[in-house]
Amino acid sequence: MNVYSGAERRRHPRICEPFPATVRSVDVSGTAFQAETVLKDFSAGGLGVRLGQRVESGARLFAVVRFSTAMDPNAPAPHVAVRGVVRRAEPQPDGLWGVGVQFTRHRFL
């Protein structure tokens, strides 16, 4: 496996915490779905998640992210709702899909 060692290409710094997220979108067959997942990374411009559903590049995606890694889902924590466009969907060795999303809108809840 090749490891990229060049200059950082991302425009925004990333937070790499497993914040829980609820994701809604449409898979490649056109079927709407909702999935509970955790973030791979998060920045001012987008997020990365792993999904069991395959989504196409260009698909619209909605997510609500809970900014807490506390085990108690009822513990108070800030939330943000985001809308975005899938920019990347790559198959992972475990059968999931690595999905990169660029934000188009966001709102703190």
pTM (predicted TM-score)? 0.84
Q: Is there a domain that residue 67 lies in? A: yes
Instruction: Write down the pLDDT at residue 37.
Output: 96
Structural domains counted in the chain: 1
Show the CA angle centred on residue 33, arms to residues 90 and 92, nearest 5°: 20
Q: Is there a domain that residue 9 lies in? A: no
3-state secondary structure of 64: strand
| Per-residue pLDDT reduced to its tens digit, 20-50 | 999 999 999 999 999 999 999 999 999 999 9
Q: Is there a domain that residue 49 lies in? A: yes
Q: Is there a domain that residue 15 lies in? A: no
Q: Is there a domain that residue 99 lies in? A: yes
- What CATH number is attached to the domain comprising 43? 2.40.10.220
Q: Is there a domain that residue 11 lies in? A: no
Instruction: State how far Cα 77 lies from the chain centre.
Output: 18
Domain range holding 62? 20-108
Which residues make beta-bridge pairs with 63? 23, 82
